[in-house]
Amino acid sequence: MAQRIIIDPVTRIEGHLKIEVEVDGGKVIDAKSSGTLFRGLELILNGRDPRDACHIMQRICGVCPIAHGTASMLCLDDAFGVKPPPNGRIVRNLIQGANYLQSHILHFYHLAALDYVKGPDTAPFIPRYEGDYRLPKAINDLAVQHYIKALDIRKKAQEMLAVFGAKMPHVTVFTAGGVTETVTAEKITQFRQYLREITAFVDDVYIPDVLAVAGVYGDDGFSIGTGCKNMLSYGGIRLTDEDDPDGQKQLFRRGRYINGQFLPVDEKKITEEVKYSWFNDSTTGKYPGEGMTEPAPGKKGAYSWLKAPRYEGTPYEVGPLARQIVNKQKEVIDLGEKGFSVLGRHFARALESGQVAHAMSGWLDQLVPGEPAFAPFNVPKEGSGVGLHEAPRGALGHWITVKDYRIGNYQAVVPTTWNGGPRDDKGQRGPIEEALVGSPVKDADNPIELVRIVRAFDPCIACAVHVLEVKGVSKEVKSFRI
Ligand code: NFE
Ligand code: MG
């Protein structure tokens, strides 16, 4: 007889996620991923000065405010018809790079590694699922030391970010047309000092640790968590000042991978479906540029505050694995089918951290002290804009409509909405749901396979549902007022 396992909340991720699976014969036969928090940040923007969007949208999340600030800046650049000067583009990139590094290091060491590394029997290492820790003692002990070291390195990545961003989280220098920061030789030197130490940590500690875990857990780690195998990257981190409508002149290129084919992306083919989400059914299937946020708490049959984003009606995984595959990165492509897995995702994230860190050093060389980092602009009376970006967790899009110099509509479709969203109108599961199906559960009291699968996606529910926490969803949701 099928057995139901509910993990609520899933710990060591950002935000409130509930996972519910049905297990039969020791295998998951169905899964539901529910975002149990409503936020409605998009509604807060309506009627406001469009120039404020890149500051308000950073408040979606404390982990990736940079990603939202960046998508928003790109969206405003597009709506206002302004292009940042080289210094502005590069400073934005350096801030993004610093954010990738702190985010990926945080994810591996402080969120995911404890699924593989057995910490001492004290907080924050307990409570934990017991029974499947396979690392030899010497490697395990070293990994615990690296957990501590990673706290310091992550702090330094945030400090590095603040050299040009002024503070973290929620940097103050972001604006349409570039950044409000001035580039000086002193700041370049300061940034470079941090970057050297962090790059060495990524090369000498983070990547080797991921390989060590892969070596020991590879038997099943490269086979569980397959998912939908459709991969999407909007492309991110602009490498030139030339026009790039197809998003190809970026550190991470725009594209899709589906059924063995590499295909282009047309953002007009993105929709969000809400049949299984707590939003009004009349708003389903809309292109985000015309999207709506109309909460319908308690809607029958719905089970998540996340919408279900789709490309041509099809679910896509986003994130480091998608970026590496779309960019045809040899080490990941060479994994073949094994790449679509829990360890494939950790490997792609670590590899990407090295790519970003080494690229950043070259960007620092391109900065010209004293040159402008900002281009002036006027806010149009009417207009619209799109900002497509790659956040650490994957494809992130912002869409704005300007009406009478104010924000008429603002929509964000976020990486974890792609990955962690519920079924769509056709009943197709979201990528995390799909990745759970087929997974073995050896011990229903310690379903470690399930959290390994979920955490490999590095979900962030605060981002995904985009200020209010609702506990015990089905009852208390009804008392909720917008
Ligand atoms: Ni809140 Fe985020 C990233 C964005 S995830 S962490 O990376 O955008 O959905
Ligand atoms: Mg949204």
- 465 pLDDT band, cuts 50/70/90, is confident
Query: Is residue 482 over pLDDT 50?
Result: no
- Give the number of the ligand closest to the Cα of residue 398: 2
**Of 29, 25, 18, 30, nearest to 1 (Cα)?**
25
Does residue 468 contact residue 36 with C-beta atoms inside 8 Å?
Answer: no
Helix (H) or strand (E) holding 95: helix 86-105
Vertex 118: Cα angle to 113 and 119 (nearest 5):
90
User: pLDDT class for 472, splitting at 50, 70, 90?
Assistant: very low
Residue 383's region, left for phi above 0, alpha for psi from -120 to 50, else beta, is left
98-109 pLDDT, tens digit per residue, is 999 999 999 999
Cα 391 to ligand 1 centre (Å): 6
CA 9 distance to own-chain centroid? 19
Mean pLDDT of 150-174: 97
Mutate to test the pocket of ligand 1, among 70, 96, 396 (most ligand atoms within 8 A of CB): 396
pLDDT for 471 beyond 60:
no
* CA–CA separation, 117 and 140 (whole Å): 6
Q: What is the pLDDT of residues 33-65, one digit of tens each?
A: 998 877 778 889 999 999 999 999 999 998 999
The residue assigned the tokens 């050297």 is 196
For residue 92, count other CB atoms closer than 10 A to its CB: 26
3-class DSSP state of 163: helix
Ranking 38-52, 60-74, 235-249 by mean pLDDT, the lowest is 38-52
The pair of three-digit structure tokens given for residue 414, joined into one six-digit string: 């976020």
From residue 346, how far is each of 66, 147, 150, 268, 285 by CA, in Å? Answer: 22, 16, 16, 31, 32
423-448 residue pLDDT tens: 999 999 999 999 999 999 999 999 99
pLDDT (tens digit, 9 = 90+) per residue, 323-375? 999 999 999 999 999 999 999 999 999 999 999 999 999 999 999 999 999 99
SS3 content of the chain, % helix, strand, coil (to 5): 45, 20, 40
pLDDT for res 476 = 33
CA atoms within 13 A on the CB side of 252: 36
Predicted confidence at residue 479, as pLDDT, reads 32
Q: What is the mean pLDDT of the chain?
A: 94
pLDDT of residue 469: 35
| Distance in Å, CA 71 to ligand 1 centroid | 11
pLDDT given for residue 135 in this prediction: 96
pLDDT, residue 119, reads 95
**What is the pLDDT at residue 132?**
93
157 contacts 98 by C-beta, under 8 angstroms: yes
Tokens of 437: 């199906």
Distances 163 to 92, 192, 202, 369, 437 between C-alpha atoms, Å:
12, 10, 20, 14, 44
Q: Quickly list H helices, 202-335.
A: 207-221, 320-326, 330-333
Q: How far is CA 124 from the centre of its chain?
A: 24
Give the integer Cα–Cα distance in Å for 236 and 92.
11
Q: Give every CB contact of residue 74 below 8 A, 6+ residues apart in sequence.
A: 386, 387, 388, 389, 398
Q: Bigger pLDDT: 195 or 40? A: 195
- Name the band, by pLDDT with cuts 50, 70 and 90, for residue 461: confident
Question: What pLDDT was estimated at residue 130?
Answer: 87
b/e 35-50 (16+ beta carbons within 10 angstroms → b): bbbbbebbebbeeeeb
Give tens-digit pLDDT for 262-301.
999 999 999 999 999 999 999 999 999 998 889 999 999 9
Percent of the chain whose predicted confidence (pLDDT) is above 90: 89
Smallest CA-to-CA distance from 69 within 160, 180, 154, 155 is with 180
pLDDT single digits (tens) 300-333: 999 999 999 999 999 999 999 999 999 999 999 9
Q: Which of 469, 460, 467 is CA-nearest to residue 15?
A: 460
Q: How far is the CA of 59 from the centre of ligand 2 (A)?
A: 14
Write out the two tokens for 263.
């295909």
Ligand 2 center from residue 194 Cα (angstroms): 35
* Helix-helix angle 207-221:137-165, to 10 degrees: 130
Asked if the model's pLDDT at residue 18 lies above 70, the reply is yes
Tokens of 447: 């379903």
Question: What pLDDT was estimated at residue 473?
Answer: 35
Measured in angstroms, how far is the CA atom of residue 464 from the centroid of ligand 2? Answer: 8
Domains, the chain, in order of start with CATH, read 3-464 (1.10.645.10)
Digit-coded pLDDT (tens) for 398-428: 999 999 999 999 999 999 999 999 999 999 9
Residue 385 token pair? 């804009």
Amino acid 243: pLDDT: 93
Residue whose structure tokens are 């010497």: 138
Nearest protein CA to atom 3 of ligand 1, as residue: 393
Q: Does residue 160 sit in helix, strand or coil?
A: helix
* For ligand 1, mutation pick of 393, 398, 413 (most atoms within 8 Å of CB): 393
Helix (H, G, I), strand (E, B) or coil at 389: strand
| Euclidean distance between CA atoms 189 and 187, whole angstroms | 5
Residue ranges lining ligand 1, Cβ < 6 Å: 14, 61, 63-64, 67-68, 391-393, 396, 414-416, 460, 462-464
Query: Mind listing the pLDDT tens digit for each residue in 198-212?
Result: 999 999 999 999 999
Q: pLDDT tens for residues 386-401?
A: 999 999 999 999 999 9
pLDDT at residue 467, rounded to an integer: 32
